[in-house]
Chain A
């Protein structure tokens, strides 16, 4: 979401310009308020409107700035993402590992017996869900709700700490290209 869709539709250009005008208006208003100048509120509104109107009417004018925003946000987004991922991995995962909870699904080392593990088959009721057990109709809910339900039902309480990271990454990660999938070809995830 930090990287805006390209090529842009007119509505995207207008929204971008409106958001930018509003931001400039707010910053300008805050500056006036902090410097104790009179009429800061009215002046900020006036600046916002004056800035917004030409961009809304002649939206093609904005395209250069729109492109510049994307160029600027690409390295910014990448940097923030790496920082977030590092923070997530070296705090949440390392701490979770230190808690000495093992890979509970991996079969125990067997010296004599079989490595085949008994398994069941999905109950018809479980087809509606993204995990193997019944939860509320998760497919119709927001993913955050689905995730929280899964954390609760699966017992992976520590995974709830990942939620803010997942939400931020969904917004900030600049690589929305499907080519990205190829990257995990060796890890097979």
Chain B
């Protein structure tokens, strides 16, 4: 008999749902993609509806629904923390406690109400870090692997280590709240003026501009770090236990002033702070990885938890760590917990066997909705768009490769939507990485941001070691590893460019070409790599092959199909709206090709009105 398990993560941030049928991942998606509200934490009604639809079942056919953590254990942490700090912390308590009274103590009610009266299955609750660990190990290609989860906080755990063997994971050690690597990183995110829980990747991108001059201060004052990667934080520098800010006055005094105001000018101090906390973060990750390697003796490592999205640390781990292979869950944050929880029920609760697949069982993370040519055609006709339908794939890819070669920007919409925060070639904006203008064009005219970060490259997997300092055929299909561009691809700095590299304005510095593929090369010659292979990426791989045949370049720029603050597009409607409100030159919706200049002027959207729908991240 077929067993259907629905995993849910919700009520904190990045709500998501995942459907597993007899141990196989059928579908997974984040709620934000449907509601168009970034990091939407609400009950994932739309994501669940999609998963059930993809599985061709109704709620009545669900055998198990599993929530990704234990609400009452988390509530216990909340109570214990407030008790430890009372009478301080009332403002925080005032905001947090009603949420529990209204929703979080009623999760069974919310889930049952959401699924309707037809649901007759069993409702389960897994453990937050076990969900992360399961999301990392069970879909991985390894029969046996060490497990490292690094997060902000779950119930009590903030990090955990263990081992996965066959169909079983065992987490043997943990660190507990309030001592958290995720919180430490978020504290610096807050202090440098970025948004907590979404701006961490900006801090990581800022780090190459700075020098780690504060690393020693952090190690001396804030963090008591041990050889095994465990640590304790001096909580007098932090305010997150009982306040509405991450850092305390003592922290501000230590680093010479109040937090930077959001959107204000970035100074060398913020860059140095970013570099410093990045160094500390990498050190913790490397030490913890070595420790878990000593404990388990296995050559493979799997990673999950929000900190696992720190691809600079992951890259160092891959190059320097003791493990032969490292696999990171692409939806490493809380969204991935939905999938992990569902897999835990299958393997742990039901004791079912696991059959690791040579690549992995995540299907390239393409687990979201897809749209047929028929559906897209109906939509385009309804809105009056002008398009070409190119049924022959070869002809289509030739056209798109030519458009890319002309340094035009293409919105690429093909197949199932990605699960996790990265666009991996299903909902991507792509361009020619060789173009010195590409970065500025994409940032200002399409993403509507003034970014100091370069874009990520997609590289044909057979060329990865040719362009980047990675091993031959080493995989990074989920854009989760950073590696340096090889010296042969780098460009020497002219004296004039050397001066520009000292400019206080980071946009000037990032525009200095550092390699033959400047759009994807950071100031320290690093790049956040996605390897593209035929098995996972299909048509996207073939497009890159066409581009390579045309230009001799195996790399293209890949950035998410959205503007700043907007969730990645989900439907053809979302993609078309974004296309018409930005300066994307060409839109490819499956076999439909739309050129901007051919569109009726009346359909063009006002960019300002479009931007105003989304709050800045």
Contacts and interface: CB of A to CB of B under 8 A. Distances in A.
A181 B42 contact: yes
B124 interface: yes
A115 B126 contact: no
Contacts of B231: 115
Given A132-B127, A159-B79, A110 B232 contact: yes
Given A127-B125, A147-B105, A173-B98, A89 B93 contact: yes
Given A121-B170, A176-B102, A184-B95, A102 B84 contact: yes
B76 A154 contact: yes
Interface of A: 81-82, 85-86, 88-90, 93-94, 96-97, 101-107, 109-110, 113-119, 121-122, 124, 127-132, 138-140, 143, 146-147, 150, 154, 156, 159, 162, 165-167, 169-170, 173, 175-176, 178, 180-189
A129 B108 CA distance: 10
A6 B374 CA distance: 38
A94 B93 CA distance: 13
Interface stretch (B243-251, B309-317, B389-397, B496-504): B243-251
Given A130-B71, A185-B197, A188-B186, A139 B108 contact: yes
Main SS at interface, chain B = mixed
Please give me the 8 A-B residue pairs with the lowest Cβ-Cβ distance, nearest first: A115-B230, A169-B101, A93-B86, A116-B173, A178-B42, A131-B72, A127-B124, A130-B72
A175 B125 CA distance: 27
A116 B174 contact: yes
Interface residues of B, number: 90
Contact of A114 (B78, B83, B230, B348): B230
A94 B89 CA distance: 11
A118 B100 CA distance: 29
Contacts of B43: 178
B77 interface: yes
Nearest to B133: A121
Contacts of A156: 76, 79
Given A96-B86, A102-B84, A119 B345 contact: no
Interface stretch (B154-162, B432-440, B453-461, B546-554): B154-162
Interface string B96-107: 111111100111
15 contacts: A97-B83, A97-B84, A107-B176, A110-B232, A121-B171, A122-B130, A128-B124, A129-B70, A147-B72, A147-B105, A169-B98, A176-B102, A185-B195, A185-B197, A188-B153
A187 B77 contact: no
A104 B99 CA distance: 24
A185 B13 contact: yes
Nearest to A108: B232
B98 A103 contact: no
A86 B446 CA distance: 48
A185 B243 CA distance: 11
B343 to A, nearest CB: 13
Given A94-B86, A121-B171, A186 B79 contact: no
Contacts of B224: 115
Given A93-B83, A97-B83, A128-B122, A166 B105 contact: yes
B173 A105 contact: no
A175 B231 CA distance: 39
B28 interface: no
Contacts of A110: 232
Interface stretch (B177-185, B355-363, B462-470, B487-495): B177-185
B196 interface: yes
Contacts of A88: 97
B56 interface: no
Given A110-B232, A115-B230, A143-B109, A189 B101 contact: no
Contacts of A138: 108
Contact of A187 (B71, B123, B195, B244): B244
